[in-house]
Amino acid sequence: MSSPPGHERWSIAEGYIPETGTGPEPEMTSHETVCILNAGEEDANVTLTLYFADRDPAGPYRLTVPARRTLHQRFNDLDDPERVPRGADYACVLESDRPVVVQHTRLDSRQAENALLTTMASPG
């Protein structure tokens, strides 16, 4: 592969972790996930910054995506420097020192049957 696919900055405007869920835990817990692919030959050092409606941003959250690996990180599980609030709108900017590909997914299990959404993040 000449140069690895992707970009060094990506943004997600929609973020929302529902406060409640149904179904077996933890697979069916309502959650949002940032899926990061590092197809390159060097580890990618990634930071996430979270933006909110009515307070200052949180972060940086630091992640490493090893070379030739993918990391599907639940926002629910981020807790350093702080936990992501439930039931609150947020958005996210991801910055990496290597090109990565970023996709965003939500499983919403507030009602008996789950719902899914996904989109590629916005590059650049």
Nearer to a second copy, 14 or 83 (CB): 14
Question: 81 preceded by cis ω (within 30°)?
Answer: yes
Tell me which of 17, 31, 51, 61 binds a second copy, using CB under 8 A.
51
Residue with smaller CB distance to a second copy, 41 or 83:
41
Count the neighbouring beta carbons within 10 Å of the beta carbon of residue 20.
11
Q: Which is nearer to a second copy, 83 or 118 (CB)?
A: 118
Contact set with a second copy (CB under 8 A): 1, 5-6, 9-16, 23, 28, 33, 35-39, 49, 51-54, 56-57, 68-72, 89-91, 93, 101-103, 105-106, 108, 110-124
